C-alpha cells in the first residue's frame, strides 16, 4: 500500500489476478479494507468492462481521495455489492473528515445530456448518498479529429502540399473557413479541448484540496467506459496536487500507474494518426526529390 493509505482503511486485493474481474485493471487493486473479494466480483459485474471503483489517489493533506471506474452496465439495476464498495469508501472519507457526514461526489466526464443518452449513470434512488456533477468534455472522437487536422495541416505545410483527401473532406463538411491547408484550421478546436480538459482537472483538484473539498467526502470519477478522460484527469490531478508527480521519476510513475496499468487504449488512439495518413505523401515527395537530384 502507498504510505498515505492506512491499512485499517484500505487493503491490496488480488481478486483481479490474471484479470479475472477486469481485463483493463492491474492484478492488485487498492480497495476499502472491509469489502470482500466476492463483493468486488459482484461490483465488477455491475460496471461496464468490469471497471469497479478503485482508489486512484489519496491527498495526504486533506485526506480526500479519488476513485476511478466505469459507469454502471444497467441504469435501473440495484447492486448491493457495488453500493457496499462505495459506502465503505464514503465511510472512510467521513471518518478522515473528523466524523462529519458528507455526501460523495459522482463526477461524470460527459455532459448530463450525453450521459443520459449513452447510459452508465448511477440511479439517484439507489446512490442517494452521492451527488452527480458533469464535466461536459467533448467526445473523444472529436478530440482525435481536431488533433489529426492540426498535425495533418502542419505536416502538409512542411511538405508544401495540401491536406490529405480525408482532411479536406472533413474541413469542408464542418464548414471550416480558414482553408484546408492552413494549420489554424484544427488549432482552435484542439486548443479549446485542451483548455476544457485542464479546467476539468482543476475542478477535480479543487474537490480534493480546496474550498469545494468541504462539500464532499470523496470523489468517484468515470465516463461511460472509464477510459480516456477518466485516466487522463486522474493523472492530471496527481500532477497538480502531488509535488513528487512533477519530478521526473514521479511523473513516470504517474504515467505507468494511471495509463499503462489501467490499460489506456494506446493502440486505438495512436495507431492511425495524421502523420500515419501522410506517410504515402512523404514517400512520394522524397522520391520526387531524389529524381530531381539525379
Give me the mean pLDDT over the 16-33 stretch: 93
Please indicate whether residue 167 or residue 159 has the higher confidence score (pLDDT). Answer: 159
pLDDT at 226 over 60: yes
pLDDT at 167 over 50: no
Q: How confident is the model at residue 20 (pLDDT cuts 50, 70, 90)?
A: very high
| Pairwise CA distance, residues 89 & 130, whole Å | 12
Give me the mean pLDDT over the 278-287 stretch: 48
What pLDDT does residue 288 have? 52
Q: Roughly what angle, to the nearest 10 degrees, separates helices 229-241 and 248-255?
A: 160
Residue whose entry in the numeric block shows the C-alpha cell 445530456:
113
Residue whose entry in the numeric block shows the C-alpha cell 476544457:
196
pLDDT at 293 over 80: no
Q: Residues 199-217: pLDDT tens digits?
A: 999 999 999 998 888 889 8
Please indicate whether residue 1 or residue 239 has the higher confidence score (pLDDT). Answer: 239
Give me the mean pLDDT over the 252-261 stretch: 92
Query: DSSP character for 258?
Result: I
Q: How confident is the model at residue 172 (pLDDT cuts 50, 70, 90)?
A: very low
Determine, yes or no, domain membership for 293. no
Please report, for the domain that includes residue 233, its CATH number.
Answer: 3.90.190
Task: Provide the whole-model pTM.
Answer: 0.80
**Residue 28 grid cell:** 492488485
Give me the mean pLDDT over the 160-182 stretch: 42
Determine, yes or no, domain membership for 32. yes
Which among 112, 115, 35, 101 is positioned nearest to 71, based on CA atoms? 115
Query: DSSP character for 259?
Result: I
Determine, yes or no, domain membership for 278. no
Q: Residues 96-146: pLDDT tens digits?
A: 777 778 899 999 999 999 999 999 999 999 999 999 999 999 888 777 777
What pLDDT does residue 267 have? 76
DSSP bridge pairs for 216: 103
Number of domains in the chain: 1
What is the DSSP code string of 260-278?
A: ITTT--HHHHHTT-HHHHH
Q: How confident is the model at residue 281 (pLDDT cuts 50, 70, 90)?
A: very low
Q: 122 with 106: CB under 8 angstroms?
A: yes
Which among 77, 83, 92, 94 is positioned nearest to 52, based on CA atoms? 83
Determine, yes or no, domain membership for 147. no
C-alpha angle with apex 128: 122 to 131, nearest 5 degrees? 70
Q: Residues 140-163: pLDDT tens digits?
A: 877 777 777 777 777 666 554 444
DSSP bridge pairs for 105: 131, 219
Query: DSSP character for 226?
Result: S
Mean pLDDT of the chain: 81
Of 64-68, 72-76, 146-150, 279-283, the least confident: 279-283
Determine, yes or no, domain membership for 28. yes
Give the residue numbers spanning the domain of 225.
Answer: 10-139+210-266
Determine, yes or no, domain membership for 93. yes
Determine, yes or no, domain membership for 46. yes
Neighbours of 103 (CB within 10 A): 15
What pLDDT does residue 256 have? 92
The secondary element (H helix, E strand) that includes residue 116 is: helix 112-118
The secondary element (H helix, E strand) that includes residue 31 is: strand 29-32
With b meaning 16 or more CB within 10 Å and e meaning fewer, what string describes 181-210?
Answer: bbbebbbebbeebeeebeebbebbbbbbbe
Determine, yes or no, domain membership for 188. no
Please indicate whether residue 8 or residue 56 has the higher confidence score (pLDDT). Answer: 56
Amino acid at each position: 500500500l502507498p504510505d498515505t493509505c492506512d491499512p485499517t482503511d484500505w487493503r491490496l486485493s488480488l481478486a483481479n489476478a490474471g484479470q479475472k474481474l477486469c481485463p483493463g485493471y492491474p492484478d492488485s487493486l487498492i480497495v476499502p479494507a472491509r469489502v470482500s473479494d466476492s463483493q468486488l466480483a459482484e461490483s465488477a459485474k455491475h460496471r461496464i468492462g468490469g471497471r469497479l471503483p478503485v482508489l486512484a489517489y489519496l491527498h495526504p493533506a486533506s485526506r480526500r481521495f479519488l476513485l476511478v471506474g466505469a459507469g454502471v452496465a444497467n441504469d435501473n439495476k440495484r447492486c448491493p455489492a457495488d453500493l457496499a464498495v462505495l459506502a465503505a469508501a464514503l465511510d472512510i472519507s467521513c471518518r478522515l473528515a473528523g466524523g462529519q457526514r458528507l455526501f460523495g461526489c459522482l463526477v461524470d466526464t460527459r455532459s448530463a445530456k450525453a450521459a443520459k443518452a449513452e447510459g452508465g449513470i448511477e440511479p439517484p434512488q439507489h446512490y442517494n448518498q452521492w451527488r452527480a456533477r458533469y464535466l461536459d468534455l467533448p467526445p473523444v472522437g472529436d478530440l482525435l479529429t481536431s488533433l489529426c487536422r492540426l498535425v495533418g495541416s502542419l505536416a502538409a505545410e512542411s511538405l508544401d502540399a495540401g491536406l490529405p483527401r480525408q482532411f479536406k473532406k472533413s474541413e469542408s463538411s464542418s464548414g471550416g473557413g480558414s482553408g484546408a491547408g492552413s494549420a489554424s484550421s484544427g488549432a482552435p478546436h484542439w486548443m479549446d479541448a485542451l483548455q476544457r480538459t485542464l479546467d476539468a482537472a482543476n475542478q477535480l483538484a479543487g474537490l480534493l484540496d480546496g474550498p469545494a473539498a468541504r462539500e464532499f467526502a470523496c470523489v468517484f470519477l468515470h465516463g461511460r467506459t472509464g477510459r480516456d478522460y477518466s485516466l487522463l484527469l486522474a493523472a492530471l490531478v496527481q500532477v497538480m496536487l502531488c509535488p513528487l508527480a512533477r519530478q521526473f521519476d514521479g511523473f513516470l510513475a504517474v504515467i505507468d500507474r494511471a495509463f499503462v496499468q489501467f490499460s489506456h487504449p494506446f493502440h486505438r488512439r495512436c495507431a492511425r494518426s495524421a502523420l500515419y495518413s501522410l506517410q504515402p505523401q512523404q514517400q512520394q515527395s522524397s522520391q520526387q526529390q531524389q529524381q530531381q537530384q539525379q
